[in-house]
Amino acid sequence: MTAPHEGDPRETAAEAARRVAEAGRRATTERDKQGTPEYDPRQHQKAVERERRAAEGRGL
């Protein structure tokens, strides 16, 4: 199996799954900060938006 060339919009299913999982981890990390001094609602919203875009890009 070959990796997509740079600039090639296609990606393997494994790469897409990894991207979605990483976005989900970031969103969860930000969510878990709620109620603490480290919580930034803007960062949480950005993480949720990244997760949504990653999932849409994969067609989930």
What pTM did the predictor assign? Answer: 0.60
pLDDT (0 to 100) of residue 13? 84
Q: List the one residue out of 49, 20, 44 whose CA is nearest residue 31.
A: 44
pLDDT (0 to 100) of residue 52? 92
Mean pLDDT of the region 39-57: 90
Q: Which helix or strand (DSSP H or E) is residue 11 part of? A: none
pLDDT (0 to 100) of residue 6? 55
* Each residue's pLDDT tens digit, 1-40: 455 545 556 678 888 889 999 999 999 998 899 888 888 9
Q: Which helix or strand (DSSP H or E) is residue 38 part of? A: none
Contact 31, 39 (CB under 8 A): no
CA–CA separation, 3 and 15 (whole Å): 10
